[in-house]
Structure 1
Amino acid sequence: MWLYDLLFSLDVKAILLFIVFFLLVANFLKNRNAENYPPGPLALPLVGHLFSVDLGRPHFTFTKLTKAYGNVFSIRFGRDKMVFVCGYKMVKEAIVTQAENFVDRPYSPLFERVYNGTSAGLFTSNGETWKKQRRFALSTLRNFGLGKSSMEQSICEECHHLLEEMEKEKGGAFHPARLFNNAVSNIICQLVMGRRFDYSDHNFQILLKYLSGAMQLEGSIWGLLYEAFPGVMKHLPGPHNKIFSYYKYLEGFISQEIQRHKKDLDPNNPRDYIDTFILEMHNHQGESNLGFSEANLALCSLDLFVAGTETTSTTLLWALTFLIKNPDVQEKVQAEIDRVIGQTRQPTMADRPNMPYTDAVIHEIQRMGNIVPLNGLRMAAKDTTLGGYFIPKGTALMPMLTSVLFDKNEWETPDTFNPRHFLDAEGKFVRREAFLPFSAGKRVCLGEGLARMELFLFFVSLFQKFTFSTLDGVELDTEGVIGTTHVPKPFKVYAKAR
C-alpha cells in the first residue's frame, strides 16, 4: 500500500511538472518574436514585464530601458506586446514620416467597454469612420469660433469669471485645481454644448470630479491590469470598476444634453457641435460606416470634453508650480506684461508676438510639465522597419513623448526649467521642432490651436492680476502624479492682488 501511495505521489508531481513545462513552452511559442524584432528585457511567463515597471513613474522605467536597448525596444504586459519608440528622430520617423502606416489605434479591452463594444468616438476609432469624424469635428469647431476672434472673446470672458473667483478668496490659501477645471471646461462646453456652467453648479462639479478620477485610474496599475487581463479583471472587484461607472455618468450627462438639443433644435441656426452633428445625422441616414449616430455623438462629445478639459487645466497647475518655485521668472513675466499690456487692459492674442519671454515660459511649462508622458498607442498597418528593426503588421507602437521633450540631443538643459530653450541670443522667441506636447502627424491633438489660445490668455490674465505664492515652509513638488496625464500633487496657493 505504501508503495502504491509513493508511486501515486510521484505521478501527481510528474503531472504537475509536465503541466508547468507545457505552459512555459506554450508561453514561449506564443510570445516568441519575429526575426530582427526590437530587443527588450527578459519577460516573465504570463505577466510579461508588468511587475518590473515603476507604475508610479512608468515613463522613468521606459527611459532607463533606452540606455540598455536603444530608442526602439519591446516590452510585454500580460498577453500584449508593444514596441516603444523614443527620442525626437525616431518618434518623428514613426508618426510623421510613416504617418499613414501608424495612424490606427490597436484594440483596447478597456476602451471597448467604455465605448460599449464599439470602435467609436474620436480617440479610438479607425479607418474611414475616424477620418470622417475628425474632419467633421475640426470644421464644425472652426465654424463655432476655433481660432477666431469670437473664441478669443469667449476665453477672455471666462478669464474674467476665473479672476473673480480668485478675488473671493481675499488673499487666503486655496486649491487652484477646481477653479482651473471649471474655467477650462467651460470653453469646450461652449463649443460642444453651447453653454457654460457656474462654478457653484453641483452637477458640474461632480462631472469634473468623475472626469479627473477616470483619467487617473486609466493610467494607474488598475487600468494596466484590465488591459493585460480583461477576461479576469472584468469579474473582479476593485478600483478599476470605477473607470466604467465614471464614464457611464459622463456619457449620461452628455446624452441629456443631446436630448435637450433635439427638443429646441433650429435647423437653420445650429448653435454648437451637438446641433451640427444632429443635422448631419439626417444627411447620412443609412451610412452607418461614417459614424453619424446618436450613440457616436455622445462618445465624440465625451472625447472632446475629456481632451478639452484635463490637459489645459493641468498645464495651468504646472504654470503655478514652476513660477512659484522660480519667483525670478514670475517677476520677469509680470514685467513684460506690464510693459506690453499694463495692469488694466485685457490681454489679446495680438499681444503674443510682442511678449517673447512670456511665450517662452509657457512653452517651457508645457515641456517640463510633460502633461501626456506616454502617448496614444498606434498600430502598424503593414510590415515595416524602424531604427533597423522589423515591425510586423498589427504591432502596437508607443511613441513616447517624454523622450522627445527631454531628449538630450535636442535640449541644452533637458532636466532643468529653462525658458531660454525657446529664446535666441537677442531674446526673440524660437520655435523648436522637438516641442511635441500635442504629439504630431495625423493623430496630432485636434484642439491644439484652442489649447494654445487658452494657455496664453489664461496665463497672462492670471499673472497680470496676481502674484502667486504657497504656504510658508512648503516646497512644491515637481514630480507629480501619473495617470493618463501627469498632474501636480494637490497644493494650495496665495493669490496676492498686484
Structure 2
Amino acid sequence: MSGITEVIVILIVFLLIVQFLKLQWTRSRFPPGPTPLPVIGNLLLLDFKLDRENLVKLTNLYGKIYTVWMGHTPMVILNGFQAIKDGLISHSEELSGRPLSPFYRDLMGEKGVFLTSGHTWKQQRRFVMSYLRSLELGKRILEHQIQEEARHLVEAFANEKGKSFNPHTHIVHATGNVIYSVIFGHRFSSEDDSFNRLIKAISFVIYFQGTIWGRLYDAFPWLMHYLPGPHQEVFLYNDFMHDLVRNEIRSHEERWKADDPQDLTDFYLVQIAKTKEDPTSTFNEENMVQTLVDLLLGGTETTTVTLCWALLYMLQYPDVQEKVQKELETVLQPSQLIHYEDRQKLPYTNAVIHETLRYSNITSVGAPRQCMKDTTVLGFPIEKGTIILPNLHSVVFESEHWETPWKFNPNHFLNSDGNFVNNEAFLPFSAGHRMCLGEHMAKIELFIFFANLLRAFTFQLPEGVKEINLDYILGAVLQPHPYKLLAVPR
C-alpha cells in the first residue's frame, strides 16, 4: 500500500514540475512579473484578490507593465499614466475586448453593451451613446430630469427634520429615478416595492463578485451550481431585474408609436423594426433586455456611491464645505435653478467634485480589457486574447501628475488664479473606446445634485460622533462604510 502511495506522490510531484516548467516557458512570451506557481499562479502573492495597493507595489519590482498569473491565466497589468495612455488610448481598438469571468458569463451571457466585444458591443454602444447625446442637446431633457430629481432629493433630506440619517437611501432613489426615466420614461415613488427591490438587486449584483463567494464562483463555477449560498440569491435578483425590464418592454409595445418615440425603450423598439431585415444587426430583444439591465446597473450605483463619498468628505473637511457654499451664494440667486453650464462660474465647486472622483476612485483598478489582435504596449508584445488590467488607481494617485496625491485637495483642479483646469491624468471613467459611456451623464448628475445639496444644507456629524471612517468596502465599486449625518437647513 505504501508503494502505491509513493508512486502517487512521485506522479503528483512530476506533474507539478512539468506544470512549473511549462509556465516558465509560457511566461517568456509576456511582460516580466513574479514567478507563477503551478495551479495557483500568483494568487498566493496577491492574497487571492487584485488589490490595487498590492498591484502598485509590484511596479517597484517589475516596472509599469508586468504580468501576474491568476491560476493558469496570465493578466497584463498597466500601471501609471504613460502605460495606460499607450494601452487604452493609443491602442484603443486593439484593447477593446471585454473578458468574461465565469460569474458574469453565467449571470448575463455575451449580450448587451457592458460585457460584449466586437460587432455586438460596437452596435449597442453606438446606439446608446447616440440616444444619450440627443438628450443632452436641444431641449436638454436629461438636465431637466436631473433637476427634478434634485428637487425631490432636497425635499427628502429636509423631511429628516434635523435627525441624523444615512444619505445613501435618498441618493440612490434619486440616481435610480434618473436612469429609470431615461430608459422607461417615468419615475418611481420611493415607497414603491418594485423600485426598492430593484435598488437592492442592483447593489447585490454589483458587490457580489468582490465577496469571497464571488471569487469561489469564478474558481469553481461547475461546483457552485450545486451548492447553496448567496450566489443562488444573486441569480434570483438578476432574474427579477430581467423580468422587470421585459414587463416594461411589453408595456411600451402596447402603446408605442414608431414616429413618436419617447424614451430609450421606444427608440430601441424603433431600431429593431428598422434593422429586422439586416443580417448583421444585433438589435433584438435579448440584447435589448441586457443593454437596459446594463444601464440600470451602471447608471445607479456608481453615481450614488460618488455622492456618498462627496458628503463624507464635506464632513471630514468643513472648510472645503464652507468654501463651496460661499461660492454658491456669491454666484447663484437663492431660488435660481442650477444648470450644468453653471459649473463654468463655479470653479471651486467643480474642482471639489472632480477631486471627489479622483480621491475616492470608486472603480479601483478599472474594468479588465481583452486584446483583440496582436499588438505592443510601450514596446512589450501583447498577444491576441490576453487579458489586460488597467490599474486606474496608479494614475489618479501618481505623484508625477498630482501635487498631493494622498490628500483630498481641490487645488489639484485649480490654477493660481482660481480657475478650473483639468489634468490629463484624471481618468476615473477610464479611457479609449471602452471608457464609461455614461461619463457625461454622471458629471451632470454629480454637479447638479451636489450643488443643490450644498446650497440647501450644511452637513455635520451627529452629536457624539468624533471620528470619520474613510476606509472603503471592496466590491465592483468601492463604497464608504455606512455613516450618518445631519442636514442643517441654511
| TM-score, normalised with respect to structure 1 | 0.94
8 Å contact 1:36–1:389 — kept in the other structure? no
- Residue aligning to 2:46: 53
- Residue aligning to 2:64: 71
Q: 2:123 pairs with 114, 132, 152, which one?
A: 132
- Residue aligning to 1:476: 468
Unaligned residue ranges in structure 2 (runs of 5+): none
Cα displacement (A) at 1:460 = 0.3
Cα displacement (A) at 1:57 = 7.7
Q: Does 1:489 align with 2:478?
A: no
Aligned-partner SS, 1:309: helix
Cα displacement (A) at 1:127 = 1.3
Cα displacement (A) at 1:119 = 1.6
- Residue aligning to 1:3: none
Cα displacement (A) at 1:390 = 2.5
- Residue aligning to 2:95: 102
Q: 2:281 pairs with 262, 282, 290, which one?
A: 290
8 Å contact 1:171–1:496 — kept in the other structure? yes
Cα displacement (A) at 1:24 = 4.1
Which amino acid in structure 1 is aligned with residue 158 of structure 2?
E
Cα displacement (A) at 1:286 = 4.8
Q: 1:271 pairs with 240, 262, 271, which one?
A: 262
> Once structures 1 and 2 are overlaid, which stretch shifts more, 157-166 or 389-398?
389-398
Relative to structure 1, is the Cα distance of residues 78 and 147 closer, same or farther in structure 2, using a 3 angstrom cutoff? farther
Q: Does 1:450 align with 2:441?
A: yes
Cα displacement (A) at 1:177 = 0.5
Cα displacement (A) at 1:120 = 1.2
Relative to structure 1, is the Cα distance of residues 194 and 31 closer, same or farther in structure 2, using a 3 angstrom cutoff? farther
- Residue aligning to 2:403: 412
- Residue aligning to 2:112: 121
Q: 2:10 pairs with 17, 40, 62, which one?
A: 17
> Once structures 1 and 2 are overlaid, which stretch shifts more, 154-163 or 244-253?
244-253
Q: Does 1:312 align with 2:303?
A: yes
- Residue aligning to 2:339: 348
- Residue aligning to 1:91: 84
Aligned-partner SS, 2:26: coil
Q: Does 1:191 align with 2:182?
A: yes
Cα displacement (A) at 1:385 = 2.4
Q: What do the CA deviations read for 1:360-415 (whole angstroms, capped 9, x no partner)?
A: 11100000010101222111122222233332221100111111111111111101
Q: What do the CA deviations read for 1:295-327 (whole angstroms, capped 9, x no partner)?
A: 111100011111111111111001011111000
Residue pairs, 1:202-221, within 5 angstroms? 202-221=193-212
> Once structures 1 and 2 are overlaid, which stretch shifts more, 222-231 or 310-319?
222-231
- Residue aligning to 1:4: none
Q: Does 1:462 align with 2:453?
A: yes
8 Å contact 1:382–1:393 — kept in the other structure? yes
8 Å contact 1:370–1:402 — kept in the other structure? yes
Cα displacement (A) at 1:463 = 0.3
Relative to structure 1, is the Cα distance of residues 260 and 28 closer, same or farther in structure 2, using a 3 angstrom cutoff? farther
Cα displacement (A) at 1:285 = 1.9
> Once structures 1 and 2 are overlaid, which stretch shifts more, 84-93 or 347-356?
347-356
Instruction: Return the alpha-carbon distance in structure 1 between the equivalents of residues 276 and 20 of structure 2.
Output: 47
Instruction: Return the alpha-carbon distance in structure 2 between the equivalents of residues 251 and 49 of structure 1.
Output: 37
Instruction: Return the alpha-carbon distance in structure 2 between the equivalents of residues 32 and 391 of structure 1.
Output: 16
How many pairs were matched up?
A: 489
Which amino acid in structure 1 is aligned with residue 185 of structure 2?
G
Residue pairs, 1:234-383, within 5 angstroms? 234-287=225-278, 289-383=280-374
Cα displacement (A) at 1:251 = 1.3
8 Å contact 1:467–1:496 — kept in the other structure? yes
Taking only aligned residues, the RMSD between alpha carbons, in angstroms, comes to: 1.9
- Residue aligning to 2:149: 158
Relative to structure 1, is the Cα distance of residues 433 and 14 closer, same or farther in structure 2, using a 3 angstrom cutoff? same
8 Å contact 2:23–2:38 — kept in the other structure? no
Relative to structure 1, is the Cα distance of residues 158 and 146 closer, same or farther in structure 2, using a 3 angstrom cutoff? farther
8 Å contact 2:42–2:70 — kept in the other structure? yes
Cα displacement (A) at 1:53 = 2.7
8 Å contact 1:364–1:418 — kept in the other structure? yes
Relative to structure 1, is the Cα distance of residues 172 and 111 closer, same or farther in structure 2, using a 3 angstrom cutoff? same
Instruction: Return the alpha-carbon distance in structure 1 between the equivalents of residues 283 and 459 of structure 2.
Output: 46
Cα displacement (A) at 1:234 = 3.2
Which amino acid in structure 1 is aligned with residue 227 of structure 2?
L
Q: What do the CA deviations read for 1:119-143 (whole angstroms, capped 9, x no partner)?
A: 2110111112111111111112233
| TM-score, normalised with respect to structure 2 | 0.95
Q: 2:430 pairs with 402, 422, 439, which one?
A: 439
Instruction: Return the alpha-carbon distance in structure 1 between the equivalents of residues 215 and 255 of structure 2.
Output: 42
- Residue aligning to 2:167: 176
Relative to structure 1, is the Cα distance of residues 63 and 235 closer, same or farther in structure 2, using a 3 angstrom cutoff? farther
Unaligned residue ranges in structure 1 (runs of 5+): 1-7
Aligned-partner SS, 1:438: coil
Instruction: Return the alpha-carbon distance in structure 2 between the equivalents of residues 347 and 143 of structure 1.
Output: 21
Cα displacement (A) at 1:469 = 1.3
Which amino acid in structure 2 is aligned with residue 229 of structure 1?
F
